[in-house]
């Protein structure tokens, strides 16, 4: 696993479709820089894409913070929108407030190791996810 070049936090606005594309690119680059495998990168970018889109569409925009951890990344999506009325219901597969499949929040949760929501009606939403890079299994030849 390579050493990450930066252990700081990057803050990105989420206010347009262009910002969504930029957020996906930054998450993929950060994951690559922190030793995530291609599959791990894809899972994290998929979760981040869904959460960033929710921040834009349901929260009216906000921001994403990408924080480096020793062996992973923490992504925090924050908006000042209407909040989530019923988090338990929102996390149920099939629940949707739009025309989607209702797999956004619950699907994103399945793609990462840690997932938390802080939301109150009228006060916005903050969703934090954490993903850790895991090394590939060693081949039998490498195991000796």
Q: Sheet holding 62-69: strands in order across? A: 9-14, 62-69, 72-79, 124-132, 114-120
pTM for this predicted structure: 0.85
Write phi, then psi, for 54 (nearest 5 degrees). -60, -40
CA–CA separation, 34 vs 111, rounded Å? 17
pLDDT of residue 103 exceeding 60, the answer is no
What's residue 25's pLDDT?
Answer: 98
Mean pLDDT rounded to a whole number for the chain? 86
What's residue 8's pLDDT?
Answer: 84
Question: What's the farthest any 2 CA atoms get from each other in the chain?
Answer: 59
CA–CA separation, 144 vs 137, rounded Å? 13
56 — pLDDT class (breaks 50, 70, 90)? very high
């Amino acid at each position: 696993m390579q050493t990450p070049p930066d252990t700081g936090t990057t803050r990105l606005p989420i206010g347009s479709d262009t910002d969504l594309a930029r957020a996906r690119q930054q998450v993929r680059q950060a994951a690559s820089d922190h030793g995530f495998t291609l599959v791990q990168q894809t899972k994290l970018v998929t979760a981040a894409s869904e959460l960033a889109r929710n921040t834009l569409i349901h929260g009216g925009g906000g921001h994403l913070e990408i924080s480096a951890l020793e062996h992973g990344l923490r992504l925090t999506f924050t908006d000042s929108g209407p909040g989530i009325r019923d988090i338990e219901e929102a996390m149920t597969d099939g629940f949707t407030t739009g025309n989607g499949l209702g797999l956004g929040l619950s699907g994103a949760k399945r793609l990462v190791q840690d997932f938390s929501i802080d939301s109150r009606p009228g006060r916005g939403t903050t969703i934090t996810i954490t993903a850790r890079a895991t090394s590939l299994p060693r081949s039998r030849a490498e195991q000796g």
